[in-house]
Amino acid sequence: MTTTATPRARPDWPAQLRAHALRVTRPRTHVLGAVHEHPHASADQVHRVVRTALPEITVQSVYVVLADLERHDLVRRIDVPGSPARYETRTGDNHHHAQCVRCLRITDVDCVVGSAPCLHPGSAAGMTILSADVLFRVICADCRENGPESTTAPASPPRSEHV
């Protein structure tokens, strides 16, 4: 898993966990660190990163930690069709994602200013809308420059970056 994002300052994970009334544990801090350093990673990819520091951690434990962190809004789960769930620590804003249909790279896309399509549905059947998840299906610049206009996705794991 590679990321082309610029390194970001590492948050104080123990303080973040305490602020959400969670106990500070090594699995939680390492999972948060892995997701922060590798945005849009799958649970399996997070597990590979975390087990370098915690060799005893299981992939099931990573899934449990991720679910717990998601419940407390410390990570955001991204569901991309045809791909395992992805995770990021960028929460609290309503940014969207673009995924290249060739290399499967996932990129953050900040919300547009002004009128955006389909963010206010005609009918929500009495439900209160909390957010809108928009996925732009794209051909990234690297893929556009390196091949024909095929939309066939490769079997390799997706890269990720922030815009």
Domains and CATH numbers, the chain: 13-78 (1.10.10.10), 93-163 (3.30.1490)
Measured between alpha carbons, how far is 88 from 80 in angstroms, rounded to an integer? 13
pLDDT one-digit tens code per residue, 148-161: 655 444 444 444 44
% of the chain surpassing 90 pLDDT: 53
Measured between alpha carbons, how far is 8 from 156 in angstroms, rounded to an integer? 26
pLDDT interval class at 147 (50, 70, 90): confident
Closest CA to 45 of 108, 75, 11, 87: 87
Measured at the CA of 159, the angle between CA 86 and CA 112, to 5 degrees, comes to 70
**What is the rounded average pLDDT of the residues 126-130?**
76
% of the chain surpassing 70 pLDDT: 77
pLDDT interval class at 121 (50, 70, 90): low
**What is the rounded average pLDDT of the residues 51-68?**
98
